[in-house]
Amino acid sequence: MKIAVVGKGGSGKTTTSGVVARTLARSGRSTLALDCDSNPNLGISLGIGEEATERLVAVRDAVDAGEEEHASSADDLVERFGVTAPDGVRLAVVTAIQNPQPGCPCCGISPERLLGELARPDRVVVADFEAGLGTVMRLDGNPVDVVMVVVEPTPKSLEVGRRAAESVRESGLGRVVVVANRVRDDEDAARVRAAFPGLEPVLVPDDPAIMDAERQDVAPLDAAPDAPGVRALVDLADSLLKAG
């Protein structure tokens, strides 16, 4: 299963990716999490901590600077530039680098294409993409099973999400799941529903426990597994498993 996580900057993509990936892994699925952001921080949401996250980023930077060998294949990339996070999630940083070598399996192809190459029938890949619509455009020709469009109930966030969902639908790239993050009340929920007619959004409440976890450099799933925002994301992952 291939899952792409998209949305406006700061909408909650990384938080969602982290909780969903670990929940899928807990269900026994082999799970690979790809950090595709040029400011990679999925490691923090997965619970490996800030230092280990920075080490992974440093390796990627070293490849860019020509101080580290390139990986010989996509799988080698996951092996060499990855780490195993809690619940057995394999995390790899695959951000685009400044000086890619065209065609190189570790830096010369887009993270959007890598997502397709790394998927296996017995493996779930969750890709935490860069903010904005560019990534959705680059997915063209690289269909996925699910595109999670993460939105906050604000006009700007909803507009990016609406355009992303439309583009995914038009190109038949995958099933859209709208994640309405940081919902505070019925009005927020209604705003999101109005922006995505025909799609029932998954509602994730605004939850101070999520920010508190980040302050403590702990994954939300470890710091506050029963907090309403975390539970909503766990339920979302469970629903993906049920849908196949």
Q: Residue 236: which H helix or E strand, with range? A: helix 228-243
Q: Which residue type does 128 have?
A: D
Tell me the closest approach of the beta carbon of residue 46 to ligand ATP, in angstroms. Answer: 12
Tell me the per-residue interface mask from 8 to 47 with Mg ion, x by CB under 5 A, - otherwise. -----xx---------------------------------
Element (H, E) at 127: strand 123-128
Place of tokens 């099933």: 175
* Interface size with Mg ion, residues (CB under 5 A): 2
Tokens of 159: 């507009």
Residue 236, contacted partner among ligand ATP, Mg ion, none, CB below 5-8 A by kind: none
Choice between 71 and 223, CB closer to ligand ATP: 223
Residue type, 231: R
Smallest distance from the beta carbon of 178 to ligand ATP, in angstroms? 14
23 binds, among Mg ion, ligand ATP, none (CB under 5 to 8 A by kind): none
Q: Give the interface with ligand ATP as residue ranges (CB under 6 A).
A: 7, 9-15, 37, 131, 181-182, 204, 206-207, 210-211, 214, 229
Between 135 and 167, CB nearer to ligand ATP = 135
Q: Report the residue closest to Mg ion, judged by CB.
A: 14
Q: How far apart are CA 178 and CA 162, in angstroms?
A: 9
CB atoms inside a 10 Å sphere around CB 143: 15
Q: Report the C-alpha gap between 244 and 233 in whole angstroms.
A: 17
Residue 157 within binding range of Mg ion, rule CB under 5 A: no
Residue nearer to ligand ATP on the CB measure, 41 or 70: 41
Alpha-carbon distance 32 to 36, whole Å? 12
The least distance separating ligand ATP from the CB of residue 86, rounded to whole angstroms, comes to 17
Report, in Å, the least distance between residue 51 CB and ligand ATP. Answer: 18
Dist CA 85 CA 133 (whole Å):
28
203 binds, among Mg ion, ligand ATP, none (CB under 5 to 8 A by kind): none
* Binding partner selected for residue 9 from ligand ATP, Mg ion, none, CB under the kind-specific 5 to 8 Å limit: ligand ATP
CA distance 108 to 125: 20
Question: From CA 93, how far away is CA 231, in angstroms rounded?
Answer: 26
- Which residues of the shown chain bind Mg ion in the complex (CB under 5 A)? 13-14
